[in-house]
Amino acid sequence: MRPSAPWILPGSFPPNQRLGLFLLLGLLLAGCGSPVPGPEQAAQAILASAPFSSASARVVRLPAFVPGGCQQALASQPEWSQWTQLGLASLSPLMTSSGPSCRLVLEETVAREAESWIHRVDAAGSGTEGELVVPVAVRTLLRIVDVHSAGSGAADVAFEWQWRMNAAGQRLGIQASPRMGTAQLALEEGRWRAVRVDIGGE
């Protein structure tokens, strides 16, 4: 039987080599002990990030009013024509101090769903007076694909997401195939937080 190799005690090394050995062991142990979030922790951190919370809605912007008659408005506004043909909105003629005008009125279900999702529109893109900002889809996280350590207190995550559409988004035919994204998480005060989220192509 081949004799096993003898244990080499740190004390048998010269002092300068002992210091290097302890430093090497410390680095190895630190690397092995780097915490990594579980899939549920990673999902919670990503869902709390702006791309999935406060800025997660895909919107369509439409003029609320167009000067002139409604037939003229349909001819000059292709999106108005599309929305009325799909049953998403109707037109209402108005008489103003400057003459006739036409107003786009969202269908009741579309208006209700838009109102319930408006808080998920980026505040910087919430629209101007005379403009309808209609959320038609929001990002939804499908699954965590991969999680691995990126050093002490950091982790890289790959995930899959897709657009979840409301009635307007479905009738408009928005593409809803799954997409890949990445995120970098940091462990702060015992909780994982997303410091960077890249959702990939829209």
Q: pLDDT tens for residues 52-72? A: 988 889 999 999 999 999 999
Percentage with pLDDT > 90 across the chain: 65
Taking 90 as the threshold, does the pLDDT of residue 2 lie above it? no
* 76 vs 133: CA distance, rounded Å: 19
pLDDT at 116: 93
Q: Is the pLDDT of residue 87 over 70?
A: yes
Task: Name, in order, each residue with C-beta under 8 angstroms of 163's C-beta and a sequence gap of 6 or more.
Answer: 58, 137, 138, 139, 140, 169, 174, 175, 176
Q: Using one digit for the tens of pLDDT, what is the confidence trace for 127-140?
A: 567 899 999 999 99
Q: Which helix (H) or strand (E) segment is 104 a member of?
A: strand 99-106
pLDDT of 124 reads 56
pLDDT of residue 19: 47
User: CA separation (Å) from 72 to 79, 122, 182?
Assistant: 13, 32, 47
Specify the DSSP class assigned to residue 68: S
Residue 14's pLDDT is: 55
- 154-158, 165-169, 175-179: which has the minimum mean pLDDT? 175-179
pTM of the model: 0.73
Mean pLDDT, range 145-166, rounded to an integer: 94
Instruction: State pLDDT tens for residues 191-202.
Output: 999 999 999 866
Q: Element (H or E) spanning 165, and its range?
A: strand 154-165
On the question of pLDDT at 151 being above 60, the answer is yes
What burial class does residue 163 get, using C-beta atoms within 10 Å of its C-beta: 0-12 exposed, 13-18 middle, 19+ buried?
Answer: buried
Q: Quickly state the pLDDT bin for 95 (edges 50, 70, 90).
A: confident
Write the pLDDT tens digit of every residue in 6-53.
433 344 445 555 444 444 444 444 444 568 999 999 999 999 999 998
Mean pLDDT of the chain: 84
